[in-house]
């Protein structure tokens, strides 16, 4: 059953009791013992990176500052399929504005887009303007967790996965798809590809013999999600292994320990963001992500106690083997792909042209898995450029 009522919402403060609890827990945290040798980030987030951020969180971070910024936008709740969902809706004053839905992933929240909501809404620098909608995914932040299993397709990251599914299955509503995290099959010898893309098929099978880099160019192919939970083949997917198999057990530590929550999230923000090569192992966060931005994300999970519910989507995905419903279908609506330098997955343009209606492909020498935080201007410009392209297509009514 769907409840179409839309109710205004205000991002809440931390209660005095919750603030005291957080500060006391951080002050009395037990840090794990570590090897005496420096192993960098190979074992996960090291103490030297976690402890300074924990001290800032306890004594220097003021939740009311990002809260005030968030509450400058229009927030709402609505109930869909018995789940209370949160979303931001910032309508543009431009008459030619295009509706856009910004979807976050894990371990992120709607706040990831705080740098681009207003520029997209206002059509900054004379670019295309958008009516901006930013939901919190079910079980994330201020959206209620699902009460029953089986919600895998409620999810660049899960936002890209959800977006691909929506774009390929609901083209009557979703008129275009912009992503930095495309999920497609390579150019396999299907009847369509044999007819339209025979050379791409040959290139793909040649790449299996001589390597992707030699065929498509160095660094053009990163299959970060190819081994979803097989940690013996990919050390970076350890988190997916446990979140995809035993999320309840992990959730005790992430729900009860602010320090554990911070460390679990920091590893991903460090590993998945773009660092200059000389600073890769030396900085906890790159200069493009301010500690307060990271701590705001962590605080949203803590305030809402949704880290446990956010990770269950990995269990649903792995156990129900649902990803083929996302990967296989071709996307017929116009597609734009932005490939940031250090994202965790990247596909050759050949693959994208065979599997989608690709209209725009952009490669960047910076940025990582959180481009709305790391490279807000570049992402805004790329979205606006795609929006301008869409205006010239017969998918939106002319004024």
Query: Six-digit token pair at 302?
Result: 């803590």
pLDDT score of 149: 63
Confidence of residue 392 (pLDDT cuts 50, 70, 90): confident
pLDDT score of 181: 82
- β-pair partners for 130: 98
Domains and CATH numbers, the chain: 2-30+42-183+223-391 (3.40.50.1820)
Q: Which of 137-151, 165-179, 190-204, 290-304 has the lowest mean pLDDT?
A: 137-151
Query: Six-digit token pair at 321?
Result: 């083997």
Query: How far is it, in rounded angstroms, from Cα 335 to Cα 167?
Result: 9
Contact residues for 318 (Cβ-Cβ < 8 A; gap 6+): 228, 229, 240, 244, 245
In the predicted model, what is the mean pLDDT of the chain? 91
**Active site residue: 75, 86, 342, 369, which one?**
369
- For residues 129-143, average pLDDT: 95
**Active site residue: 86, 151, 157, 275, which one?**
157
pLDDT score of 320: 76
Query: How far is it, in rounded angstroms, from Cα 387 to Cα 176?
Result: 9
Rounded to 5 degrees, what angle do the CA atoms 335, 336, 339 make? Answer: 140
Per-residue pLDDT for 160 more than 60? yes
**Active site residue: 314, 315, 350, 382, which one?**
314
Confidence of residue 183 (pLDDT cuts 50, 70, 90): confident
Query: How far is it, in rounded angstroms, from Cα 303 to Cα 292?
Result: 15
Rounded to 5 degrees, what angle do the CA atoms 169, 171, 172 make? Answer: 120
Query: Six-digit token pair at 361?
Result: 């492909």
Query: How far is it, in rounded angstroms, from Cα 118 to Cα 73?
Result: 9
For the question of residue 81 being annotated catalytic, the response is no
For the question of residue 369 being annotated catalytic, the response is yes
pLDDT score of 318: 83
For the question of residue 76 being annotated catalytic, the response is no
């Amino acid at each position: 059953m769907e409840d179409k009522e839309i109710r205004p919402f205000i991002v809440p403060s931390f209660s005095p009791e919750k603030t005291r609890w957080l500060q006391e827990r951080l002050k009395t945290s037990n840090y794990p013992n570590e090897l005496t040798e420096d192993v960098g980030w190979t074992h996960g987030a090291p103490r030297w990176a976690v402890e300074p951020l924990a001290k800032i969180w306890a004594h220097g971070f003021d939740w009311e500052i990002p809260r005030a910024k968030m509450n400058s936008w229009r927030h709402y709740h609505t109930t869909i399929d018995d789940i209370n969902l949160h979303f931001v809706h910032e309508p543009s004053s431009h008459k030619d504005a295009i509706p856009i839905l910004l979807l976050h992933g894990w371990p992120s929240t709607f706040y990831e887009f705080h740098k681009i909501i207003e520029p997209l809404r206002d059509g900054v620098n004379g670019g295309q303007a958008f009516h901006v909608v930013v939901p919190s995914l079910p079980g994330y932040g201020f959206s209620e967790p699902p009460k029953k299993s089986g919600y895998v397709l409620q999810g660049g990251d899960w936002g890209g996965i959800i977006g691909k599914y929506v774009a390929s299955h609901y083209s009557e509503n979703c008129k275009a798809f912009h992503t930095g995290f495309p999920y497609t099959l390579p150019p396999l010898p299907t009847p369509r590809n044999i007819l339209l893309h025979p050379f791409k098929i040959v290139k793909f099978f040649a790449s299996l013999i001589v390597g992707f880099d030699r065929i498509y160019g160095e660094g053009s192919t990163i299959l970060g999600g190819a081994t979803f939970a097989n940690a013996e083949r990919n050390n970076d997917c350890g988190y997916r292994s446990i979140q995809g198999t035993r999320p309840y057990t992990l959730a005790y530590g992430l729900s009860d320990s602010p320090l554990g929550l911070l460390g679990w999230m920091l590893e991903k923000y460090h590993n998945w963001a773009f660092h200059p090569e000389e600073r890769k192992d030396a900085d906890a966060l790159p200069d493009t992500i301010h500690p307060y931005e990271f701590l705001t994300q962590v605080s949203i999970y803590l305030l809402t106690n949704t880290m446990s519910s956010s990770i269950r989507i990995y269990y649903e995905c792995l156990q129900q083997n649902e990803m083929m419903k996302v990967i296989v279908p071709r996307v017929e609506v116009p597609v734009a792909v932005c490939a940031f330098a250090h994202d965790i997955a990247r596909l050759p343009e050949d693959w994208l042209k065979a599997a989608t209606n690709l209209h725009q492909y952009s490669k960047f020498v910076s940025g990582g898995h959180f481009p709305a935080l790391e490279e807000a201007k570049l992402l805004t410009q790329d979205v606006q450029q795609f929006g301008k392209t869409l205006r010239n297509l017969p998918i939106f009514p002319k004024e």
